[in-house]
Structure 1
Amino acid sequence: MAYSQANVKELVAYAKAHGVQVTPEIDAPAHVGAGWQWGLDFGVGELTLCWANSPTVYHQCWEAPCGQLNPMNEKVYDLLDKIWGEMTDLFESDVYHLGGDEVFTQCWKNSTVVSDHVSNKTGDDEYFEIWAKFQERVQNNLWKRAPKKKIQLWTSDLTTDKFFKYLPKDKVIIQTWGPAVNNEPRMITDAGYQTVVSFQDFHYLDCGFNGIDRKDNGWCAPYKTWQMIYEQPLDFNVTANNARLVLGSELVMWTEVSGEAALDTRVWPRASAFAERAWTNPSTRWDKAMPRLTIQAYRIIETGVAADLLQPHWCRQHPGECPLIVW
């Protein structure tokens, strides 16, 4: 799907009228392939590496389609700077998300254009250093255009003690994506960073349907029921002193296996359950919310959104007569 500048402006204006900021995510340096292959043909060198998928895809990236920016090509930084210029013209958000997701060092190891610049070609440390310097440069270029904006990044090998020096604490927000047991919010806030929490085992709405490359329900199964989402605590195991660094939590809907026809049912009314938890943090359990959310699901459907139901229609017609099993 492609969006014109007019499309983006319309979305931003519509959201603003409803009290919502649209925050763009321009993922880099990974997840970049299509549209960047023209560099050699136009004499500016390779812009993206590892984009030609093959049966050896897992030697190039975490999942198809592959592609990772070439951090050694100056033209890459020029092009990203132009993208930042366009982005700052189109979006009014206080935050720009620069991704940093699923960077695959093996891609750069397989590319002499990068590996020729490291002494230990099989280890990861020097490649992480290249990534860190890439990140520092692109975020500094963005701040030249929009000095008051904060940037947001996904947790990764870059968001660790060794590389925090490249990520200013007052200007970088780190978003978690690991499971709750990893305790990422605690580690991030203990380091002094603001965070947005998205646990893959509670906040990923695309999980539990089918795997894109295997005979199972996908890497992040099982399906996250609205009850699971509703009962996920909001303290995220951070200290009382660091609670102020938790900006909030985000429900995530990835679309590798979620087409337009299924989008509404995957999101709603589970997002309503999440909203009640995130905005009011009730002390009661999911069974107390069931009557409200059942009505909310019907309200959503009446607006034309293809939301799922939480209970049979009979239960709405007979409030309190459908028993709930709570444990």
Structure 2
Amino acid sequence: MPQPASAQFDTGSLPIPAGLSVVWEGTRTALLDRAVGRFTARLAALGGIPAPAPDAPGGGAIPLHIRVGSDPGYLSIAAREQYRLTVDANGIDLVADGPAGVLHGLATLLQLVQAGPQQPSIAYARIDDAPRFAWRGVMIDVSRHFMTIETLKRQIDAMEMVKLDVLHLHLSDGQGFRVESRVFPRLTRVASHGQYYTQDQIRDLVAYAADRGIRIVPEFDTPGHSFALLLAYPELASQAPVPGDRHQVNVAAINPTLEESYRFLRRLYGEMGRLFPDRYFHAGGDEVSPTQWTKNPAIAAFMTQHGFATTQQLQARFTARIQKILQDQGKIMMGWDEVSEAPIPDNVVVEAWRGSKFIASATRAGHPVVVSAGYYLDFLLPASEHYLVDPLDPRASGLAPELAEKLRPKLGAMADALKLDPSATMTPVQDRLVMGGEAPLWTEVVTDEMLDARLWPRSAAIAERFWSPASVRDVRDMYRRLAVVQDELCVTGLQAQANRYRMAARLSPGDAGPVLALADATSPIRNYGHNHLVFHGTKIAPEQRMNTPSDIAAPDSLAAERFDDLAHRYVAGDRSVRPVLETMLTRWRDNDVAFQAVSAGHPILEEARPASQELKALAQAGLDALAGRKDTQWRAATSALLARQDQAVAASANMVVSRAAPQPPADLLQDITPGVRALAGLD
């Protein structure tokens, strides 16, 4: 994962009892030597074999021939990423047009490693591969919750292994400005709240990513989402910020009519741009509250004087000024799709996030586009929901028109932005303007400890959508491979499972098993329903408690997904899977006794007791179905049980419903429901 553009697999495999010995042809560099070093270390971790030095001669090692060309476009949108990989009885050949192709070929080779009874081996294969899109990224919000450099480096390592190549860092927002500024030291002293990256740390992180073929694109959000910045420099504010006021944290905006605002941003962006060498620089531009400007008499007068009937027109003026500043500094400006609501320079890259229709509208206006609509990881949707969203489909993501109209009283003007456009289409010229996509993870309810499990393994499935041909859409096959990739990532350094265990052990010291068993069969509610304090209370994001079973549960329960797959196979006639089904169901049923015991006297766990009881009831229903009990009384009780689960899912089916509807106990959804429904014959 991701699936190659072209792959042929032959019968047999190449044993690797003593590892690999690299033979170089072409342009060998220190960067490539380090890449081979990482590969051999990961190979040793996955295969349990020694990791010889890259130049170690003979000794039973299998030859790995690498032929690589030079690529002046490495670490740019024009990088040569194609590679050809052959594994046969004679050894391994990797041919690449540039360093990026070598990195990708090694990542694929690692996934061909097979465990054997005596020794690992590599499957015979002939692979010719190149990505569908050049921009394949994830976005991590480090403002709302600060993430350590160590944690970010783990994500970069995982990104390399699934061929993602852009890390977009959201470095400023209401909760904090996260990079040391020597030009404006109050950003560090006041706006960071003590949590920031030094300039040396940023340089180190950029170099670490570059070594792995990953570009870091910084985002410093303006003119909205500027509360932290304006705490430090309030003279730039449209309205006087009120420290600690939740509303101001989300809406405070820079005054776009002040020349001082542009002088400030020119110096700030110049300083930050020197830390991040990538040509692309994200300037934000999303969710500017109109009243921040219209309720300022001076700004309102400015709008009248310049003939601006809407705040979108005023923002377009701001965007054009920022674009010119960044262009003068050798950068290409990116912005969220709001920046395209009024005419702006067509070389501004638009990130389509509110709905897929903005892919069509922005490319129609001549803008390059990066797609994030449909890939928001903080919605806590399962991987399958993101996997089936194609970056070139302008109707893939958004609210159905009838639902948008129904929700208009609550959404207001946002209903128009979120509403699908059934008539949206793309031409081949527009398709070529789509650079790729990225999966954002906003961190209102994600801590440093949770980041690995909230990003992975779903980001691997999205990586496949950005890399592989559009025809690769088999969800069942994706989940089968996703479970393997998740294990590979964890074996080679990702802390997703380890951190989940730590969180469970914190809740139940000495007996974390019952907590993990419940978490493994469930998933958190969706569409921001779990953001209790952010959307239902008065406190800002970092104050929400985030050590509950819902925070431990993953959006994709891979154990439940396997159960559901086996259940459908059983119903289709494969009786060989019955023992496995019985074992899984018995474990989930019997876990309730243990969970009730460990939760006694622990308020956080006691909230999840009803969820554990529901899991027990579902598991018992599945066992009854396997045993042939399907009488009228049982069917009625099971139908009611399944209906409760459907109601629970519906309660967080979209962002508006999730804020108002009662949610299931402990914010947990029962992920084994589809499999039980199939076994019961009620699907």
Fold shared, TM-score > 0.5 on shorter chain: yes
2:443 to 246, 255, 263: 255
Q: Distance in 1 between matches of 2:311 and 2:345?
A: 21
C-alpha separation in 1, matches of 2:332 and 2:326 = 10
Aligned residues: 288
Is the contact between residue 388 and residue 473 of structure 2 (CA under 8 Å) also seen in structure 1? no
CA distance in 1, matches of 2:482, 2:468: 14
CA distance in 1, matches of 2:275, 2:333: 16
Q: Which residue of 2 aligns with 1:197?
A: 371
User: Is residue 279 from structure 1 mapped to residue 467 from structure 2 by the alignment?
Assistant: yes
When the two structures are superposed, what TM-score results if normalisation uses the length of structure 2? 0.39
8 Å CA contact 1:205, 1:253 repeated in 2? yes
- Secondary structure, in 3 states, of the residue corresponding to 1:68? coil
Deviation at 1:29? 0.5
**Offset at residue 87 of structure 1 (A):** 2.0
Match among 117, 120, 132 for residue 316 of structure 2: 132
Cα distance between partner residues in 2 of 1:234 and 1:137: 29
Per the alignment, in what secondary structure is the counterpart of residue 227 of structure 2?
A: coil
Counterpart CA distance in 2 for 1:54 and 1:314 is 42
**Cα contact 1:53–1:65 (8 A) shared by 2:** no
Question: Structure 1 residues 184, 35: closer, same or farther in 2, change over 3 A?
Answer: closer
Give the match for residue 34 of structure 1. 228
Instruction: Name the CA shift for 1:234/1:131 in 2 (closer, same or farther; >3 Å).
Output: closer
Q: In the aligned structure 2, how far is the partner of 1:249 from the partner of 1:96?
A: 16
* TM superposition shift of 1:53: 6.0
Do the aligned partners of residues 284 and 132 (structure 1) sit closer, same or farther apart at CA in structure 2, a change above 3 Å counting? closer
Whole-Å Cα distance in 1 between the matches of residues 458 and 279 of structure 2?
A: 27
C-alpha spacing 1:289/1:48, structure 2 compared with 1 (3 Å):
same
What is the CA-CA distance between 1:179 and the residue it aligns to? 2.9
CA distance in 1: counterparts of 2:560 and 2:445, whole angstroms: 29
Q: Which one has the largest radius of gyration?
A: 2
Judge conservation of contact 2:351–2:370 (CA < 8 Å) in 1: yes
Pair 110,244 (structure 1): closer, same or farther in 2 beyond 3 Å: same
2:345 to 161, 168, 173: 168
Q: 5 Å matches for 1:176-325? A: 176-180=352-356, 183-199=357-373, 202-207=374-379, 223-237=380-394, 238-281=426-469, 282-302=471-491, 303-306=493-496, 310-312=557-559, 321=577
**2:345 is aligned with what amino acid?**
P
Q: Secondary structure at the match of 1:49?
A: coil
Contact 2:377 2:439 in 1 (8 A): yes
Q: Which amino acid aligns with 1:288?
A: D
Question: In the TM superposition, what is the alpha-carbon distance from 1:56 to its structure 2 partner?
Answer: 9.2
Q: Is the Cα–Cα contact under 8 Å of residues 323 and 348 in structure 2 kept in the other structure?
A: no
Verify the 8 A CA contact 2:323 2:332 in the aligned structure 1: no
In the alignment, which residue of structure 2 is the partner of 1:216? none
- Consecutive aligned runs of 4 or more in structure 1 exceeding 4 Å deviation: 53-56, 307-310, 313-316, 319-327
Confirm or deny: 8 A CA contact 1:203 1:224 kept in the other structure.
no
Question: What is residue 150 of structure 1 aligned with on the other side?
Answer: 332
Cα contact 2:452–2:494 (8 A) shared by 1: no
CA 1:190–1:288 in 2, change beyond 3 Å: closer, same or farther?
same
Deviation of 1:267 after TM superposition, in Å, equals 0.9
Q: Tell me the secondary structure at the aligned position of residue 125 of structure 1.
A: coil
Distance in structure 2 (CA, Å) of the matches to 1:39 and 1:297: 44
Deviation at 1:137, TM superposition (A): 1.6
Q: How big is each residue's C-alpha offset from its partner over 1:107-132, in whole Å with a ceiling of 9 and x where there is no partner?
A: 11222231232339xx9824333322
Alpha-carbon deviation of 1:288?
Answer: 1.3
Give the CA RMSD over aligned residues. 3.1
Question: Aligned partners of 1:313 and 1:172: how far apart in 2?
Answer: 43
TM-score by length of 1: 0.78
Bigger share in helix: 2
Q: Does the C-alpha gap of structure 1 residues 8 and 240 become closer, same or farther in structure 2, counting only changes over 3 Å?
A: same
1:52 matched to 2:230? The reply is: no
Deviation, 1:295, is 0.6
Alignment check: 8 A CA contact 1:153 1:173 kept: yes
Task: Say if 1:259 and 1:124 are closer, same or farther in 2 by CA, change over 3 A.
Answer: farther
Alpha-carbon distance change, 14 to 231 in structure 1, aligned in 2, over 3 angstroms? same
Secondary structure at the counterpart of residue 290 of structure 1: helix
Q: Which residue of 2 aligns with 1:217?
A: none
State the percentage of identical aligned residues: 27
> Residue 7 of structure 1 corresponds to which residue in structure 2?
201
Q: CA deviation at 1:94?
A: 2.2
Following the alignment from structure 1 to structure 2, what is the Cα–Cα distance between the partners of residues 35 and 150? Answer: 23
* Displacement after TM superposition at 1:38 (Å): 5.2
CA distance in 2, matches of 1:304, 1:118: 51
Letter in 2 for 1:263: L
Q: Secondary structure at the match of 2:281?
A: strand
Moved more, 231-240 or 72-81: 231-240
Cα distance between partner residues in 2 of 1:75 and 1:234: 39
Aligned to 2:283, the other structure's residue is in SS state strand
Alignment of 1:42-81 (within 5 A): 46-50=235-239, 51-52=241-242, 57=247, 64-81=249-266
Partners of 1:14 and 1:227 in 2: how far apart?
31
Whether 2:310 is the aligned partner of 1:110: answer no
CA 1:116–1:191: 2 relative to 1, 3 Å: closer
Indicate if the aligned counterparts of 1:53 and 1:66 stay in contact, CA closer than 8 A.
no
Instruction: Work out whether residues 320 and 345 of structure 2, in 8 Å CA contact, stay in contact via their aligned partners in 1.
Output: no
- What residue in structure 2 maps to residue 20 of structure 1? 214
| 1:152 and 1:175 in contact (8 A); partners too | yes
SS at match of 1:179: coil
How far residue 285 of structure 1 moved from its aligned partner, in angstroms, is 1.1
Displacement of 1:294 in angstroms is: 0.8
| Partners of 2:326 and 2:333 within 8 A in 1 | no
For 1:184 and 1:126, how far apart are their aligned partners in 2?
A: 20
**Structure 2: distance between partners of 1:56 and 1:7:** 30
Query: How many Å apart are 1:313 and its aligned residue?
Result: 10
1:159 aligns with 2:353: no
Match of 1:206, SS state, is: helix
The CA distance in 2 between the partners of 1:269 and 1:295, in whole Å, is 10
1:47–1:70 contact (8 Å) kept in structure 2: yes
Q: What displacement does 1:74 show?
A: 2.1
Structure ranking higher in strand proportion: 2
Q: CA deviation at 1:55?
A: 7.3
**3-state SS of 2:228 partner:** coil
Paired letter, 1:142: L
**In 1, Cα distance between equivalents of 2:267 and 2:383:** 41
Unaligned runs of 5+ in 2: 1-194, 395-425, 498-553, 570-576, 582-673
Counterpart amino acid of residue 231 in structure 1: L
Q: Is the 8 A contact 1:24 1:97 kept in 2?
A: yes
Change in Cα spacing, 1:304 to 1:133, as seen in structure 2 (3 Å) is: closer
Read off the aligned partner of 1:261 and give its amino acid letter.
Answer: E
Q: 2 CA distance for matches of 1:255 and 1:234?
A: 24
Change beyond 3 A, Cα 1:37–1:234 = closer
